Amino acid sequence: MTHDLAQLVRDAAAGTGARQVRAAGRLMSMIEDDPTRLPALVVAARPYLASSPLPLGEGREGGCKEPPRLPRIVLGITGAPGSGKSTLTDALLGEYRRRFPQRKIGVVAVDPSSPFTGGAVLGDRVRMMRHTTDPMIFVRSMASRGHLGGLALGVRGVIQILALIGCDLVILETVGVGQSEVEVAGIADLTAIIFAPGQGDSIQLLKAGLMEIGDLFVINKADRPGAAELHRQLLSVLKLGVIEEHCGAHHGIGLPQAASRGLPDSVGETAASPELGLMRSRPMPDVQLVSAAEHTGIASLLDLLEKKTDDHHEDWAQRRDESMFRDIRDSILEAARQRLERTLGRNGTAHGQVARVLAGDLSIEELADDLLRRTAGAPHANAGLAPGRTSNSSSKTEVM
Amino acid sequence: MDTHPRRPRILIAKPGLDGHDRGAKYVAHILRDAGFEVIYTGIRRSPEQIVEAAIQEDVAAIGLSLLSGAHNVLFKKVIDLLKSKDAADILVFGGGTIPPDDVPFLKSIGVAAVFTPGTPAKTIVSTLDSLFAQPA
């Protein structure tokens, strides 16, 4: 199997059968192992995405004239361990395939790495194995690994590769707790937060983090006791948020019934404003009650997702460009930080300077200036950073 | 920042009809603790599912656990499928209740290592490490 990025991109885009799947899998490993190659991947993939015919015989009726650069929707599915994310993903896969037999679906399932050993057990696939031999479904498991910003770039790369093989829908499944997880949730066009009854009281709903990244809330395991109670609590917490942030002015307030039925009405319509990153710009999110295991509520959840996709996919495309830009910028800053850090490390040229700062001989600002000067002319270790310079520039970590 | 040396990804799978997954989960656990990324796929999988998942996940190795006695057939099926999909570079190792007399046959068809019950965790990790250290 080749390790040439351009060749693999060609095989993933134009190859068929096992050759295409292998190329896609291998490309994903390359990006996962060295996320700084994302720009090279994007550049190599561009001609195929721009010129390839629409992968759909049906669906996508009359809608878009331009071939999409990425899937129509990247759906984030996030929630605590055990809330049923993978089972819900499995149910959505089944429903989507039944409804749109011509459309390809990609799944990216992120599970945490051990901060102690770096190891991971990635178990999301277990729930989706019945789809494994379906050529229209590609599932990739990813460990969160430890690197700051690296996961976000890696996930973007994997989504780009899923686009190359023609995926129309991508489901991005994450635990959604912790900084890198929240970063990853930012990649999705729409993030669904999954809850299940019996996982803590309403205080959990007030905690920071999870609730703030949701565009859509799904209560899973509706067949279990406590689901109705959780539904009520969730609605009241969400309404509180809306009241605070809109000072009661938003027309969605006072319409909890509409929201509780998950109607794709005007209440949720502005959910894809470009400032979606900010909680305060949000209207009342939709809340759906489902049972993935018993397959109830799945069809109406998909109806809602389709409606939102039809309404917003053009805004999303633009927002993806902006957030990609942000992630690239963050990784440039991270690369710069690592270089600076090396000069302060045990073998670094400025290692001794920290003691001088402590002794009062040098200010923090002066040392920072000094570090920037020291690193300015130094050749960098990781040449893979240079966009457009592909295969041979980053020779590391291609051991497989 | 990532401080751990990257170790290969391994898919752990149970082909065939027996539902005894304790051994497979134990191996997944020790490999995780040894710093591997383990993709666990659950019980009663077909060789086709296992091979397709391994290719999508681009793993370096597949670990097959089997207690039903059908190892000679199912391990071979997995290896043949890998070959047919131009993926013979993915290592295959196995474990479970495998009689010692069957080990030479399994090795002859390309199973890289066989870990029978009682194999110490350290042996599994060090064997895999040395297998991955060899050029494919």
A271-301 pLDDT, tens per residue? 444 444 444 455 788 999 999 999 999 999 9
Banded model confidence at residue A392, pLDDT cuts 50, 70, 90: very low
Banded model confidence at residue A377, pLDDT cuts 50, 70, 90: low
Per-residue DSSP letters for A373-398? HHHHSSPPS-GGGSTT--GGG--TT-
- Quick check: A88 and A171 in contact, CB under 8 A? no
pLDDT in tens, A130-189: 999 999 999 999 998 876 667 888 999 999 999 999 999 999 998 766 666 677 777 899
% of chain A surpassing 70 pLDDT: 74
pLDDT in tens, B16-42: 888 889 999 999 999 999 999 999 999
Instruction: Please tell me the distance from the alpha carbon of residue A110 to that of residue B93, in angstroms, as a whole number.
Output: 25
Which residues in chain B have their CB less than 8 angstroms from residue A129's CB?
41-42, 45, 49, 53
To test the contact with chain A by mutation, choose from B39, B91, B125 the residue with the greatest count of A C-beta atoms within 10 A, namely: B39
Banded model confidence at residue A244, pLDDT cuts 50, 70, 90: low
Give pLDDT, residue B16: 86
Of the candidates B2, B28, B58, which has its C-beta nearest A145's C-beta?
B2
In sign, the C-alpha dihedral spanning A56, A57, A61, A67 is: positive
Which residues in chain B have their CB less than 8 angstroms from residue A121's CB?
28-29, 32, 38, 40
| A-to-B residue pairs, Cβ atoms closer than 8 angstroms | 114
Which residues in chain B have their CB less than 8 angstroms from residue A123's CB?
39-40
Residue A93 in this model has a pLDDT that exceeds 90? yes
Closest residue, chain B, to A118 (C-alpha) = B35
To test the contact with chain A by mutation, choose from B32, B49, B89, B129 the residue with the greatest count of A C-beta atoms within 10 A, namely: B32
Give pLDDT, residue A400: 31
Instruction: Please tell me the distance from the alpha carbon of residue A286 to that of residue A257, in angstroms, as a whole number.
Output: 11
Of the candidates B9, B28, B53, which has its C-beta nearest A132's C-beta?
B53
Which residues in chain B have their CB less than 8 angstroms from residue A114's CB?
32-33, 35
Question: Residue B134 CB: number of other CB atoms within 10 A?
Answer: 8
pLDDT in tens, B37-79: 999 999 999 999 999 999 999 999 999 999 988 999 999 999 9
Beta bridge partners of B64: B13, B94
* Among A84-98, A169-183, A313-327, the least confident range: A169-183
Determine, for residues A119 and B57 on separate chains, whether the beta-carbon distance falls below 8 Å.
no
Distance between alpha carbon A346 and the CA centroid of its chain, in Å?
36
Higher pLDDT, A55 or A366: A366
Distance from CA of B39 to the nearest CA of A (A): 5
Question: Counting beta carbons within 10 angstroms of the beta carbon of residue A275, is it exposed (0 to 12), middle (13 to 18) or buried (19 or more)?
Answer: exposed
Longest CA–CA separation in chain A, Å? 72
Banded model confidence at residue A65, pLDDT cuts 50, 70, 90: very low
Residue A107 in this model has a pLDDT that exceeds 60? yes
Could you report the predicted ipTM of this complex, rounded to two decimals? Answer: 0.93
Determine, for residues A120 and B4 on separate chains, whether the beta-carbon distance falls below 8 Å.
no
Determine, for residues A18 and B86 on separate chains, whether the beta-carbon distance falls below 8 Å.
yes
Determine, for residues A18 and B49 on separate chains, whether the beta-carbon distance falls below 8 Å.
no
Give the 3-state secondary structure of residue A182.
helix
* Among A3-7, A47-51, A330-334, the least confident range: A47-51
Write out the E strands in B49-117: 61-66, 91-96, 113-115
